[in-house]
Amino acid sequence: MSKCNTIATLTFPEGIRISEFIDALRFDFSTFQADTSASLDLWTSRSRASWILPQQIYRANGITVTIQQHNNPDTVVVQKARCVEKWRGQGNQFDNILIQGSRAPRNKSWVCQQGYCPAKLLYAFHFSDRINTGEANANESVIWWTVHHDLLFVEDLEYLSSPMPNRTHGMIMCRDAPQRVRRIVDVSSVRTPVQLVPNGEDNQYILNQYSSLESYNMIYYIDRIY
């Protein structure tokens, strides 16, 4: 976890505007429930940029997720997804994840049945909100309750072909969405990091959720060397 910064001082890579981040925060804050997950300040001021900009957050360089091993469900493996401005001297590194969405039991696609949605991880951060409990301790001081929110700023991707496995290689494919959607999600909604392997078409990728991230990196860096 990096040092604490106010939202107003955050820097974003080219193509990402702070206004998009603030709009996503506004929407996410609107889902918080007063008195249980939001302070009175947040509840009454959540839609105002003038209140959001001075708020402090801790930025992270990525997330770690524990998942079941594909070939052995009794064994768990640790997978990481990064969101860093500089990675191995190659510039930005935004890894990809599957986020839990709404399940669709009647859909023929397994990923749709599970409600898994692909997204690019742009920012990971920690935000704390202090809630006045309305109670006092023995010294008659107000008792505060701190609610911690581990949040992610993501860009949604979309599936191709329904999404059913491709007939040639048996893998599911996705692409950058024509209408870009960036939003805030809770880190608990992440099901697994995934790898997107370019298939030769512009902004189209083969989704691989089983191989290790290091194997994926080796594919990329060997390709760059040769």
pLDDT digits (tens), the chain, 226 positions: 567 889 999 888 788 899 999 999 999 988 887 666 678 888 888 889 999 999 999 999 899 888 877 667 788 888 888 888 776 666 778 889 999 998 888 888 888 888 899 999 999 999 988 877 778 888 878 777 788 889 999 999 998 876 777 777 777 889 998 889 999 999 999 998 888 888 877 888 888 865 555 555 555 544 443 3
Residue 14 has a pLDDT of 80
| CA distances (Å), origin 59, targets 11, 62, 166, 206 | 11, 9, 38, 30
Long-range CB contacts (within 8 A, 24+) of 49-53: 49/22, 52/7, 52/22, 52/25, 52/26, 53/6, 53/7, 53/8, 53/22
Query: Token pair of 74, please?
Result: 């009794």
Give CA torsion, residues 51, 17, 14, 80, to 10 deg: 70
Residue 140 has a pLDDT of 76
Residue 171 identity (one-letter amino acid): M
Q: How far apart are CA 149 and CA 147, in angstroms?
A: 7
Cβ pair 38, 196 in contact under 8 A? no
Instruction: Write out the residue range of the structural domain in which residue 83 sits.
Output: 4-225
Q: What's the domain count of the chain?
A: 1
Q: How far apart are CA 52 and CA 45, in angstroms?
A: 8
Q: What pTM was estimated for this model as a whole? A: 0.84
For the chain, report the end-to-end CA distance as a whole number of angstroms: 35
Q: What is the pLDDT of residues 84-125, one digit of tens each?
A: 877 666 677 888 999 999 888 888 888 888 889 999 999 999
User: How many CB atoms are located within 10 Å of the residue 40 CB?
Assistant: 11
